Structure 1
């Protein structure tokens, strides 16, 4: 168990669309809000939204900057509009950094959406575009949990915002299966004291999701029917803070 403050480096793998950025800032800011909310739900002495957390953010796309492992306790890899299976120089550098973290035993990894896929890729799993008929998973989505997933998240099922059509096809060797949906069998991966990942977006709120849906509908990515159906689910209950609490418990566990 690391001593407080708990030092988490947020790797920013994208920039929010303008409508989201203007209201909520970078993905470093958005994840900071989420993790602080999660800290307030933990009964852990010295840890709250105002104390016990030391959060830093790194632009791994344009600046390609990374933290020194000796200065952090955990890495959180964010979501992204980019493809996790591409071979752009910055993506390859991120995969290699993830392998570096996996090769040691102290610093732990959290992966979210694109970050979940990068962890899968770094561990040798197939990551690619979904071949299911629906393809996309978007907006608030019901997620089934395995028995281990129920233990980790402290609930019988999850609901999270989704925004993806790329998936991890198989669980890498040594990972525990946490969650699944009909469209995506690998919704969460876990190795005690090493990794925890989710395919969904615990950091998204109703407003963030609605802005992204509007943006992608206007761009022609989602047709009218799909957009309308997704917007109707954007205001449903979702378990972002539940997942944030699980992330912090993972970083604190012996």
Structure 2
């Protein structure tokens, strides 16, 4: 029997209070996504949803703790409210660790939103604010031909929550898709990493809570909020994206 897939979740933030109380950190949020995705993959001989995943958690912000690359099969970099382009000591340490993981010939990486941007930064391209502003709630991601092959569909719908972007594709990276507000929606290097700018892990109640809180604090206007809340509960491809992640991690 295949040994469990050892996935280290690098928690780059703490969820908002209500979400944190329910899921116990982004480790919990991603554990739900990955187990649901393993069930959707429906290949128990390759990956048993109950016993085939060994998901560890690492606080890279306050504790700045990291797994030894020899001890894991995959690194998952989560989203974050922090800015991927800033030079806080923990972000610089994260970028350096990411460079080492990319250079490892065995370990694979998954980058989500902030994590997608950190991988872009580690590869030497500009990350920062988008001139197009916020991209929020369920949006279409137009796939490239390689993106269609990788995800097995013509287009993706994915939850979004960002105003920062990767400004260009790094060298030797396969573009996966784009949207009107973000040209670099996903990056792929076979055998090395898959990233998405969106949030396949966000459930309806997670994105709704974030929108509500950010509206109350004045980050989003009433118009932005009404539009985003309407799309927050639209059907999306989060689990299908998670299944693609798992297939990628299982490849020899």
- Once superposed, which parts of structure 1, at least 4 consecutive aligned residues long, lie more than 4 Å away? none
Using the TM superposition, give the Cα deviation of residue 10 of structure 1 relative to its aligned residue in structure 2, in angstroms: 0.3
Q: Name the counterpart of 1:212.
A: 210
Among 173, 188, 191, the alignment partner of 1:190 is: 188
Distance 2:183 2:145 in 1: 15
- Give the equivalent residue in structure 2 for 1:34: 33
Task: Please say if 1:60 is aligned against 2:64.
Answer: no
Query: What corresponds to 2:221 in structure 1?
Result: 223
Q: Aligned residue for 2:241? A: 243
The 5-angstrom pairing of residues 12-27 of structure 1 reads: 12-27=11-26
| Partner deviation per Cα, 1:29-84 (whole Å, 9 max, x = no partner) | 00000001111122431513202111101000001000011110000000000000
Partner Cα separation in structure 2 for residue 241 and residue 15 of structure 1: 22
**Which whole-Å CA distance do the structure 2 matches of 1:37 and 1:111 have between them?**
19
What residue number does 2:47 align with?
47
The whole-number CA distance in structure 2 between the counterparts of 1:4 and 1:213 is 40
Match of 1:149 in 2: 147
Q: Give the aligned partner of residue 233 of structure 1.
A: 231
RMSD value over aligned CA atoms? 0.8
Taking the aligned partners of 1:170 and 1:223, their CA distance within structure 2 comes to 29
Render the CA deviation track for 1:196-226: whole Å, top value 9, x for unaligned: 0000000001100100001100100001111
Question: Which stretch of structure 1 is more off in the superposition, 174-183 or 18-27?
Answer: 18-27
**Which of 21-30 and 74-83 deviates more?**
21-30
**Residue 112 of structure 1 aligns with which residue?**
112
Q: Distance in 1 between matches of 2:46 and 2:173?
A: 31
Deviation at 1:4, TM superposition (A): 2.4
User: What secondary structure, in the 3-state scheme, does the structure 1 residue paired with 2:139 have?
Assistant: strand
Paired residues of 1:140 and 1:159 also in contact (CA < 8 A): yes
Per the normalisation by structure 1, the TM-score is 0.97
SS of 1:189 mapped into structure 2 = strand
Q: Paired residue for 1:174, among 172, 175, 198? A: 172
In the alignment of these two chains, the number of paired residues is: 250
Q: TM-score, normalised by structure 2?
A: 0.97
The SS at the match of 1:187 is strand
Whole-Å Cα distance in 1 between the matches of residues 3 and 148 of structure 2? 27
Q: Distance in 1 between matches of 2:125 and 2:242?
A: 25
Per-residue deviation, residues 159-190 of structure 1 (Å, max 9, x unmatched): 01000000001000000000100110000000
Gaps spanning 5+ residues in structure 2: where?
Answer: none
Looking at structure 2, the residues matched to 12 and 171 of structure 1 have their Cα atoms a distance apart, in angstroms, of: 25
Aligned to 2:158: 160
CA distance in 1 between counterparts of 2:158 and 2:24 reads 21
Taking the aligned partners of 2:191 and 2:124, their CA distance within structure 1 comes to: 19
Counterpart of 1:202 in structure 2 is 200
Which structure 1 residue ranges, 5 or more long, are not aligned? none
**C-alpha contact (below 8 Å) 1:4/1:46 kept by paired residues:** no
Q: Indicate if the aligned counterparts of 1:60 and 1:94 stay in contact, CA closer than 8 A.
A: yes
User: Residue 10 of structure 1 corresponds to which residue in structure 2?
Assistant: 9
User: 1:253 Cα deviation (Å)?
Assistant: 1.1
